[in-house]
Amino acid sequence: MGIIELLLIAVGLSMDAFAVSIGNGLAMKKLNVKAALATAFSFGLFQALMPTLGYFLGTAFESVIRRFDHYIALIFLGFIGGKMIFDGIKELRAKKKGEEPPAEFKLTLPALLIQAIATSIDALIVGVSFAALPDVNIWTAVSLIGLTTFVISLAGVFFGKKFGQLLGSRAEILGGVILVAIGLKVFIEHTFFGG
């Protein structure tokens, strides 16, 4: 498998991470470069680790992983997105009443790890498929996937923050909706279309 094919796979795998990164950027009141780098690093790391794990697990566990990956993504992303929506609505209501708004959404390490795992489960399956292909250098593949996801996720946070400034307090709600939508997308694709 050539570099072009691997790059296309890397870009495809990074799209969920990109969307979640936009959601994280939308939720930020001020641009937090440290949080943006942590998001990009976590997503890139897990997008590289999961296919490595899948490669070495091989086809033995493919059916088990496929059976549960969409539930994991739906639950994790739905929970974090739901909390962001809830907090955003609370902030809008507080502003209408002239009260002090609740604290800004904080991207905690546990929330970031959950997002990284939930957006990289498909990469585990890709790693299993790499094991079945004779011409895949796993180390080149996972390095390219991780680096591509890092760059795309970092861009996603900045893109989300830019639109977050335009949306004001509704940005956190939109960020939460994006996370829930990604979880639903993964669930629907895998449940009804065998994705």
pLDDT tens-digit map of 90-105 = 877 877 787 765 555 5
- The arithmetic mean of pLDDT across residues 77-88, rounded, is 76
The predicted pLDDT at position 42 comes to 96
Q: Is the pLDDT of residue 25 over 80?
A: yes
Q: Assign 2 a pLDDT band (cuts: 50, 70, 90).
A: confident
Between 131 and 14, where is the model more confident?
A: 14
- Phi then psi dihedrals of residue 32, to 5 deg: -115, 100
Q: Give me the chain's average pLDDT, please.
A: 81
CA–CA separation, 87 and 111 (whole Å): 15
Integer CA distances (angstroms), 15 to 43, 120, 149, in order: 11, 10, 8
pLDDT higher than threshold 70 for residue 62: no
Question: Closest by alpha carbon to 151, among 52, 28, 24, 10?
Answer: 10
How many folded domains does the chain comprise? 1
Average pLDDT over residues 3-28: 85
SS3 60: helix
Separation CA 162–CA 103 (nearest Å): 20
Residue 38 has pLDDT above 80, yes or no: yes
Q: pLDDT higher for 99 or 38?
A: 38
pLDDT attached to residue 60: 66
Q: Which of 51-60, 144-153, 162-171 has the lowest mean pLDDT?
A: 162-171
Q: Are 74 and 187 in contact (CB under 8 A)?
A: yes
> Residue 65 above 70 pLDDT?
no
Residue 125 has pLDDT above 80, yes or no: no
Give the range of the structural domain holding residue 27, as residue numbers without chain letter: 3-192
Cα atoms in the 13 Å half-sphere on the side-chain side of 95: 10
- What's the CA angle centered on 166, arms 165 and 169, to 5 degrees? 70
pLDDT of amino acid 149: 95
Radius of gyration of the chain (CA): 17
- Locate 33 and state its tokens: 């470069």
Q: Is the pTM of this model over 0.75?
A: no
Selected residue with higher pLDDT from 55 and 68: 55
Contact call for residues 117 and 72 (beta carbons, < 8 A): yes
Kindly give the interhelix angle for 109-132 and 33-57, rounded to the nearest 10 degrees: 30
Higher pLDDT, 116 or 131: 116
